[in-house]
């Protein structure tokens, strides 16, 4: 057994772990990084990047088939599903060097390609290495949750870890789970010429604002995706190429391939947390506001911390750890300004409170400002008029924003900035946006917040009349 000592030991080389390792090593700390599987973790290999690349293939096919609205003949797209997967892997390969072992070794990080498990509160074993660390950061991420549904163990199925390697085009893809991952995959596949049925036990996109989610769901249905809601799976049967999903309400859905997308589970099984006195919760590792576990020398960040599971959250957590572990500065993780987006077409994005949450929290002091894409000149030019932005405002400051429509994931950035810095609606309204941009929607919704105050206010009208009478 080789014994090693370090300032910071990072377990897991995904979005969170890599950010901590890069930051800490470049600031002079001695860092060891463990990775049992692929450098880059879920986001690069099985998550954000491959899914967005496949969505891009679907979008290209869709534009070919719907070009005539722009004066260009519609073409039935010639889809090569395997080549679309080549594109996905080429995109991964282009980004991979940023997360590579060589790059991190260049920063001075010692990278060990082994799974780690605690043997004591400050020691971790990885292969034949025994590592003692002043601080440990657990960034082991999450994996697809595959519930023990009756019959599932007898039937071949895919998850986000295997679907991007599938090269034969599914004739009919059944997707169990109508969350963001299920919906993104559903639209990508229908656009690539597959039949798609989504089977969801409750409401599809149920964590989002229902009014905004319904615009996405209607669009997917209009493209041909069958979305079955309130359809709890009772039994799965069949074989490769012919799968059947029976639901509790007596329906049977038949397809050629099955994708499981029902949720995520934290990667904690291999860590032997009890050896380090680290408690777990129902969704992951128990952490306090500063992401410390019940062992004060150990932090947990990203998906394994069991909160919002996004790459940008893991990166945000990494910044908190660097402040706290390297500089001993107090630093707390907040969630109120964390956005998320679902990259369907139209996109769906949220930051802060939804309308229902804001109403519950603030009652009658809540004002909701809205603006539709159908009044945005750029959206009209590009025939992307579906959708809206609504901003929840309390005493002149935004407490949440919901956007559904073209580039919603880009537009939400401004509201993340506003919530992070407690900006006022007046500051957003004072911004000048270039015309014609989709981004003008942000300014226009702030304008929509102020216009009733200006245009329906009798005092304002009296002042204007008075001034007009007296100026030469």
Ligand X SMILES: Cc1cc2nc3c(=O)[nH]c(=O)nc-3n(C[C@H](O)[C@H](O)[C@H](O)COP(=O)(O)OP(=O)(O)OC[C@H]3O[C@@H](n4cnc5c(N)ncnc54)[C@H](O)[C@@H]3O)c2cc1C
Per CB under 6 A, residues contacting ligand X are: 11-17, 34-38, 41-43, 46-48, 51, 115-116, 139-141, 160, 181, 267, 270-271, 302-304, 309-312, 314, 343
Cβ proximity to ligand X: between 47 and 238 the closer is 47
Report, in Å, the least distance between residue 63 CB and ligand X: 21
Report, in Å, the least distance between residue 129 CB and ligand X: 12
Report, in Å, the least distance between residue 236 CB and ligand X: 21
Report, in Å, the least distance between residue 9 CB and ligand X: 10
Q: Which helix (H) or strand (E) holds 415?
A: helix 408-420
Decide: helix, strand or coil at residue 465.
helix
Q: Is the dihedral of CA 438, 442, 447, 449 positive or negative?
A: positive
- Chain residue at closest Cβ approach to ligand X: 14
Cβ proximity to ligand X: between 322 and 393 the closer is 322
On whether the CB atoms of residues 59 and 110 are closer than 8 A, the answer is no
DSSP per residue, 24-35? HHHTT--EEEE-
Decide: helix, strand or coil at residue 99.
helix
CA–CA separation, 263 and 145 (whole Å): 5
CA–CA separation, 287 and 136 (whole Å): 13
Report, in Å, the least distance between residue 300 CB and ligand X: 9
| Bridge partners (DSSP) listed for residue 261 | none
Q: Can you list the positions of beta strands (E) in 250-353?
A: 252-255, 257-260, 264-266, 298-300, 339-342, 347-352
Cβ proximity to ligand X: between 160 and 354 the closer is 160
Cβ proximity to ligand X: between 55 and 401 the closer is 55
Report, in Å, the least distance between residue 115 CB and ligand X: 4
Cβ proximity to ligand X: between 301 and 366 the closer is 301
Distant-in-sequence contacts of 56-61, Cβ < 8 A, 24+ apart = 56/87, 57/84, 57/87, 57/88, 57/188, 57/191, 57/192, 58/187, 58/188, 58/189, 58/190, 58/191, 58/192, 59/191, 59/345, 61/191, 61/192, 61/193
Residue 282 half-sphere exposure, CB side, CA atoms within 13 Å? 0
Report, in Å, the least distance between residue 164 CB and ligand X: 9
On whether the CB atoms of residues 138 and 12 are closer than 8 A, the answer is yes
Query: How big is the CA angle at 98 (ends 97 and 102), to the nearest 5 degrees?
Result: 60
Cβ proximity to ligand X: between 11 and 379 the closer is 11
Instruction: Read off φ and ψ for residue 340, nearest 5 degrees.
Output: -150, 160
Cβ proximity to ligand X: between 340 and 371 the closer is 340
Q: Can you list the positions of beta strands (E) in 305-377?
A: 339-342, 347-352, 366-372
Cβ proximity to ligand X: between 160 and 197 the closer is 160
Report, in Å, the least distance between residue 423 CB and ligand X: 23
Cβ proximity to ligand X: between 51 and 197 the closer is 51
CA–CA separation, 93 and 1 (whole Å): 35
Omega before 14 cis (within 30°)?
no
Do strands 195-199 and 172-176 pair parallel, antiparallel, or not at all (unpaired)? parallel
Report, in Å, the least distance between residue 249 CB and ligand X: 28
Cβ proximity to ligand X: between 309 and 442 the closer is 309
Report, in Å, the least distance between residue 374 CB and ligand X: 27
């Amino acid at each position: 057994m080789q014994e090693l000592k370090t300032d910071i030991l990072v377990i897991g080389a995904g979005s969170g772990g890599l950010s901590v390792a890069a930051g800490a090593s470049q600031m002079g700390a001695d860092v060891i990084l463990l990775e049992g599987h692929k450098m880059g973790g879920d986001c690069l290999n099985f998550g954000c990047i491959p899914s967005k690349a496949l969505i891009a293939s679907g979008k290209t096919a869709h534009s070919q088939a719907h070009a005539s609205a722009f004066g260009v003949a519609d073409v039935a797209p010639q889809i090569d599903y395997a080549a679309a997967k080549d594109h996905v892997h080429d995109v991964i390969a282009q980004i991979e060097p940023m997360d590579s072992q060589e790059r991190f070794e260049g920063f001075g990080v010692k990278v060990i390609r082994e799974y780690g498990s605690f043997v004591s509160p400050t020691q971790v074993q990885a292969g034949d290495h025994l590592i003692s660390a002043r601080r440990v950061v657990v960034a082991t991420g999450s994996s697809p949750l595959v519930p023990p549904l009756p019959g599932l163990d007898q039937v071949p199925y895919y998850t986000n870890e295997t679907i991007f390697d599938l090269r034969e085009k599914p004739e009919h893809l059944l997707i169990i789970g109508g969350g963001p991952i299920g919906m993104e995959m559903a639209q990508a596949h229908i656009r690539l010429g597959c039949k798609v049925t989504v089977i969801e036990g409750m409401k599809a996109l149920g964590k989002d604002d229902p009014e905004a989610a319904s615009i996405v769901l209607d669009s997917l249905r209009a493209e041909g995706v069958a979305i079955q809601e309130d359809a709890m799976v009772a039994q799965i049967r069949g074989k490769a190429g012919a799968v059947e999903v029976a639901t509790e309400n007596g329906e049977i859905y038949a397809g050629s391939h099955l994708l499981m997308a029902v949720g995520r589970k934290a990667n904690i099984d291999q860590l032997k947390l009890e050896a380090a006195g680290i408690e777990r919760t129902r969704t992951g590792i128990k952490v306090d506001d500063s992401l410390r576990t019940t062992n004060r020398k150990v932090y947990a960040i990203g998906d394994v911390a069991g909160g919002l599971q996004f790459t940008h959250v893991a990166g945000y957590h990494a910044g908190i750890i660097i402040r706290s572990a390297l500089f001993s500065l107090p630093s707390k993780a907040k969630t109120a300004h964390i956005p998320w987006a679902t990259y369907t077409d139209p996109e769906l994005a949220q930051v802060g409170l939804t309308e229902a949450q804001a109403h519950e929290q603030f009652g009658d002091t809540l004002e909701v400002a809205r603006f539709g894409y159908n009044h945005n000149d750029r959206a009209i030019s590009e025939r992307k008029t579906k959708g809206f932005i609504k901003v929840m405002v309390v005493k002149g400051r935004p407490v949440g924003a919901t956007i559904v429509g073209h580039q919603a994931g880009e537009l939400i950035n401004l509201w993340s900035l506003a919530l992070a810095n407690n900006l006022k609606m007046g500051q957003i309204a004072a911004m000048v946006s270039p015309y014609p941009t989709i981004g003008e929607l942000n300014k226009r919704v702030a304008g929509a917040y102020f216009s009733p105050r200006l245009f329906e206010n009798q005092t304002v009208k009296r002042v204007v009349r008075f001034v007009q009478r007296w100026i030469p």
